[in-house]
Amino acid sequence: MVFAHTITELFLVFTLTDDLCCHTLNVAVLDSKNNVICENLGIPKQFPAIAYLIPDGQFTPGEYRAIIYIDIVPKWETCFVIL
């Protein structure tokens, strides 16, 4: 996924299944240097769950990764680029 650096919001939307009801959902977004730029720990167990990534000012061009953890285990990862 590629986005312009002028975006003001970027949404990562996902839905949890009922079998995850007793687990903790965590989301981290990292830049190309593996610096955490957004971290949502213990997102409430609502269906669907939405984590908001809203930068201070604007995004710096580069590559980013969003990682979703169930408890402390990484379960899903996606990458995106800001031009």
Q: Which domain holds residue 13?
A: 2-82
Long-range pairs of 31-40 with CB within 8 A, sequence gap ≥ 24 = 31/60, 31/62, 31/63, 31/64, 32/62, 32/63, 32/64, 37/64
Number of domains the chain is built from: 1
Which of the four pLDDT bands, split at 50, 70 and 90, describes residue 6?
A: confident
Lowest mean pLDDT among 3-7, 37-41, 67-71: 37-41
Q: Pseudo-torsion of CA 53, 76, 2, 9, nearest 10°?
A: -10
Do 69 and 36 meet the contact criterion of CB atoms below 8 Å apart? no
DSSP 8-state code for residue 83: -
Res. 58: pLDDT tops 80: no
Confidence (pLDDT) at 65: 92
Which CATH number fits the domain that encloses residue 27? Answer: 2.60.40
